[in-house]
Amino acid sequence: MQIRTEHLLKRFGDVTAVNDLTVTLADGKLVALLGPSGCGKTTILSMLSGILPVTGGKVFFNDRDVTDLAPDKRNVGLVFQNYALYPHMTVMQNICFPMEIKRVPKAERIKRANELAEMVHITPLLKRKPAELSGGQQQRVAIARALAKQPDILLLDEPLSNLDAKLRVEMREEIRRIQRQAKITTVFVTHDQEEASSIADQVVLLKTGVLQQQDTARNLYDQPCNLFVADFLGNPPINKMAGVIHDGRFVFEGSDSAIALEQDKMPPEGTKTVLAIRAESVIAVPDRPQLSAAVVERYTLGKDELVRLQVGTQQMRAYVAGDTPAQPGGQLAIALKKTGVFLFDAASGERYL
């Protein structure tokens, strides 16, 4: 089922948690609501589920206006951050509970619970109580319970935040698998860009309740629309080099170094800008060097080496091949790739294309 919000607004007192959000989330996709804490992503999820009333705007499921419907009338499955499994019920009873409320006959309940248990791989645990399960197992049960009433939409609130690092990678792949298998429109909330990028078909990136960009993770990474998006995605964080435009070139602040940029539209002379450079977009020892940088430090990260470079008063990180002769204290000639280098306005953060 397609989810659409129109000018969605949520205020808590004087605080605007979600501001004029208009998005369309495609049917059958896995969508991530991504943003730093306090950006309103969980609030949006709660408004989609109906737990929180909206202050303004509308929510549509397909073409049905569900804005004023109670949660149980929207047919959404919810997975809570701490799972909220009923501690006094067995796994089986937990999965059956939503169906019991819907008055599904007992035989069918049990049949369906068994199917779901098989799908999320918890069949041997059906007789256990939640306290006897690990975090990952509880997560699986919570998903099975959310799917039990055959919802049109599955909503997950920070589904992986309560798990340890290793389990997190495993469970996010599981969420992807289960979502594909159940073919259900799924929205999950996360503050972890890697989590969102790795499994989501679409990422909705938010900042202080305002939509920044909605696209595939790939496009968000390769074509960020503003500095916040460029900065939020990627590890190590993108290098943000301050500078001004002079003679159609970017002059690094605190340095004489300048480079020519291939821009369709160059900002006017003297504009304060930020040149954002991904660490992997730096070419060490190129045929045609654009820039000379001092090597500050060198870190070995398995396949690659990460070097910290100094250009004037500013520092940046760059990935270089293991055999690059760059030692701390030395100089390194570099050039920039065409991809992964973006020019933003320093004041507004808007990108110059």
Partner 1 sequence: MTEGRLPRRRVDTAKLTPRTFWEPLLFLAPFLVGLIIFTVYPFINVFALSFKQDYNLLTQAFSGYGFDNYKTIFADPNFANALRNTGIYVAVVVPISTALSLLAASLLNSDIRLKGLFQTCYFLPMVTSITAVGLVWKWMFNYDYGIINYFLSLFGVNAINWLNNPQYNLAALIIYGIWDMMPMTIILLLSGYQNINPQYYTAAKADGAKTWCIFRRITLPLLAPTLGLTMIINIIYASKVFTELFPLFNGKPGSAYSLYTVVYYLYDMFYNKWQLGPASASAVVLFAIVLVLTIIQLYIQRNWKNY
Which CB sits closer to partner 1, 186 or 212? 186
- Total residues contacting partner 1 (rule CB under 8 A)? 22
- Cβ atoms of 189 and 157 within 8 Å: the answer is yes
Q: Quote the least distance from Cβ 108 to partner 1, whole Å.
A: 17
Place of tokens 């002079």: 246
Q: Quote the least distance from Cβ 94 to partner 1, whole Å.
A: 10
Q: Quote the least distance from Cβ 90 to partner 1, whole Å.
A: 10
Q: Quote the least distance from Cβ 99 to partner 1, whole Å.
A: 9
Determine, following the binding rule CB under 8 A, whether residue 302 of this chain makes contact with partner 1. Answer: no
Which CB sits closer to partner 1, 132 or 164? 132
52 HSE (CA, 13 A, CB side): 19
- Cβ atoms of 33 and 5 within 8 Å: the answer is no
Task: Pick out residues in 62-121 that bind partner 1 (CB under 8 A).
Answer: 71-73, 76, 78, 80, 82, 84, 86-88, 97-98, 101-102
Task: Pick out residues in 303-332 that bind partner 1 (CB under 8 A).
Answer: none
- Tokens matching residue 269: 């002379």
Beta-carbon count within 10 A of 181 CB: 10
CA–CA separation, 249 vs 251, rounded Å?
6
Q: Quote the least distance from Cβ 149 to partner 1, whole Å.
A: 7
Which CB sits closer to partner 1, 83 or 344? 83
Q: Quote the least distance from Cβ 85 to partner 1, whole Å.
A: 9
Instruction: Provide the 8-state DSSP code for 238.
Output: P
Q: Supply angle C-alpha 110, 50, 181, rounded to 5.
A: 45
Q: Quote the least distance from Cβ 84 to partner 1, whole Å.
A: 4
Which CB sits closer to partner 1, 76 or 274? 76
- Cβ atoms of 8 and 56 within 8 Å: the answer is yes
Place of tokens 């991504």: 34
Which CB sits closer to partner 1, 72 or 115? 72
- Tokens matching residue 178: 């289960």
Task: Pick out residues in 149-208 that bind partner 1 (CB under 8 A).
Answer: 149
Which CB sits closer to partner 1, 12 or 86? 86
Which CB sits closer to partner 1, 86 or 299? 86
* Torsions phi, psi for 171 (to 5 deg): -70, -30
Q: Quote the least distance from Cβ 100 to partner 1, whole Å.
A: 8
- Tokens matching residue 173: 């792949």
* Burial class of 150 by CB neighbour count within 10 A (0 to 12, 13 to 18, 19+): middle
Which CB sits closer to partner 1, 102 or 111? 102
* Burial class of 55 by CB neighbour count within 10 A (0 to 12, 13 to 18, 19+): middle
Instruction: Provide the 8-state DSSP code for 339.
Output: T
Binding mask 18-57 for partner 1 (x = CB under 8 A): -------------------------------xxx------
**Which H or E run includes 154?**
strand 153-156
217 HSE (CA, 13 A, CB side): 17
Q: Quote the least distance from Cβ 18 to partner 1, whole Å.
A: 19
Interacting span for partner 1 (CB under 8 A) from 7-15, 106-114, 125-133, 308-316: 125-133
- Candidates 29, 129, 249, 298; binder of partner 1 (CB under 8 A) is 129
What is the C-alpha radius of gyration for the chain, rounded to an integer number of angstroms? 24
Which CB sits closer to partner 1, 40 or 98? 98
Interface with partner 1 by CB under 8 A: which residues? 49-51, 71-73, 76, 78, 80, 82, 84, 86-88, 97-98, 101-102, 129-131, 149
